[in-house]
Amino acid sequence: MHPNHLRALAAALATLASAVTLSAVQPAITMTPFGTLRDGRAAQLYTLANSHGAKVAITNYGGIVTRILVPDRDGNLADIALGYDTLAAYEKDGATTGTYFGALIGRYGNRIARGQFTLDGKTFKLAANNTPGGIPCALHGGKVGFDKVLWDAAPLVEKDAAGLRLRHLSKDGEEGYPGNLDVTVTYWLTDKNELRIEYLATTDKATPVNLTNHSYFNLRGEGSGTILDHVLTLNASRYTPVDKGLIPTGQLAPVAGTPFDFTKPHAIGGRIETQNEQLLFGGGYDHNWLIDRGSAKSRALVKAAEVYEPVTGRVLEVLTEEPAVQFYCGNFLDGKNAGKSKIAYKKRTGLCLETQHSPDSPNQPAFPSTILRPGERYETATVYRFSAR
């Protein structure tokens, strides 16, 4: 064949190939069965893909993010979210260990002292499902929190994002909380390699609401060792010290001069063994930092955290409308939970950055209020942005 013809043919083939690739890489969502719950109801697994090949898998059981596939600095994808490969393993979790891998957390994310609060003169009792330091408290919504309910799900596809809208009606009195709470959470995987989570709730009686997501990240890939060499920056000059039951003392303490100062990047393991009462209580980092929001408006996304993993170059940025973030470095992981790759998740092999209001806010009048009243809308968003350098 004449070289000119060959070149023309090659060009035509290249155009065809790019057209095929283009049409194959639009944001998309697929649904596959994820198994059956003990009560016989079927759960689904939704896989969101963006046009760069990043993927996020979410089940409507607990709104759990089961997989997050994002590239390293050489473009290699790895699953950086801790989790299980079966629905049964998620359903069983919590009976003993309570990892809350990837789950939506509500009605109240984090702890409420003694499992009770008083609202408009009435005292509400919650299940005390957690006992750090031997002291009972309510944790993450109770015995059957939002991590253990089957959400209604609707897939969404936009030009530059694939999404999943989840809905749950939390009944008046459920887990001891007042009011019918209508909750909608929408996950988006955008073409900017962001996992965006939008929370919306309305109620017919005043109730505390504090929703979050409990994903554990290991930016080298789940099952590849500890996160102690991940480098963390927190845009926070204050945190809420806790008592030995992990309940805030009420103090908003400066981080300056303490191992809690991540205003400049620090390896997570760098100061974790320091003799420090707070690190002792938490068994490591398991605390709530108040994000320096400056003059940002309440519904503005402000950068709360950045995590850098030196081997793969992966970066996670966390942006949120929330006032605080719980940084928990997986201190309670004990190797009893074998994950997706059948590798046991040992202590500190994943880290959480749970955006939220501070723990025990319903009992802490000085903290920003978490009370939602009839006629109001609870609306907030958080973005987990992935990149590499």
Query: Should residue 332 be labelled a site residue for ligand GLA when binding is judged by CB under 6 A?
Result: yes
- Give how far the C-alpha of residue 64 lies from the chain's centroid of Cα atoms, to the nearest Å: 9
286 binds ligand GLA (CB under 6 A): yes
354 catalytic per annotation: yes
Q: Confirm if 75 and 65 have CB atoms less than 8 A apart.
A: no
User: Strand runs (DSSP E) across 62-151, as ranges?
Assistant: 65-71, 77-79, 104-105, 111-113, 116-119, 122-125, 137-139
Q: Do 174 and 148 meet the contact criterion of CB atoms below 8 Å apart?
A: no
- Enter the tokens of residue 19: 């057209």
- Count residues near ligand GLA (CB under 6 A): 11
3-class secondary-structure state, position 196: strand
Asked if 285 touches ligand GLA (CB under 6 A), the answer is: no
Does 352 engage in binding with ligand GLA (CB under 6 A)? yes
Q: Contact between 177 and ligand GLA (CB under 6 A)?
A: no
- Residue 98 in contact with ligand GLA, rule: CB under 6 A: yes
Q: Which residues contact 132 (CB under 8 A, 6 or more apart)?
A: 244, 245, 246
CB of 42 to ligand GLA, least distance (A): 27
Nearer to ligand GLA, 190 or 240 (CB): 240
Site for ligand GLA (CB under 6 A): which residue of 47, 170, 326, 370?
326
Task: With contacts defined by CB under 6 A, name the span among 31-39, 49-57, 97-105, 204-212 that binds ligand GLA.
Answer: 97-105
Among 100, 146, 151, 386, binds ligand GLA (CB under 6 A): 100
328 interacts with ligand GLA by CB under 6 A:
yes
Q: How far apart are CA 156 and CA 267, in angstroms?
A: 38
Strand positions, DSSP E, 210-313? 212-213, 231-234, 238-240, 253-254, 266-267, 286-290, 302-308
We find the least distance from the C-beta atom of residue 351 to ligand GLA, in angstroms, to be 10
Q: Quick one: which segment of 22-30, 43-51, 82-90, 96-104 binds ligand GLA (CB under 6 A)?
A: 96-104
Q: Do residues 359 and 169 lie in contact, with contact meaning Cβ atoms separated by under 8 Å? A: no
φ and ψ at residue 361, rounded to 5 degrees: -55, -35
State the catalytic residue, choosing from 230, 306, 354, 357. 354
Residues from 236 through 275 that contact ligand GLA (CB under 6 A): 246
What is the number of the residue whose Cβ is closest to ligand GLA? Answer: 328
Cα(54)–Cα(72) distance, integer angstroms = 11
The residues that touch ligand GLA, with contacts defined as CB under 6 A, are 98-100, 139, 246, 286, 326, 328, 332, 352, 354
Catalytic positions, written as ranges: 214, 354
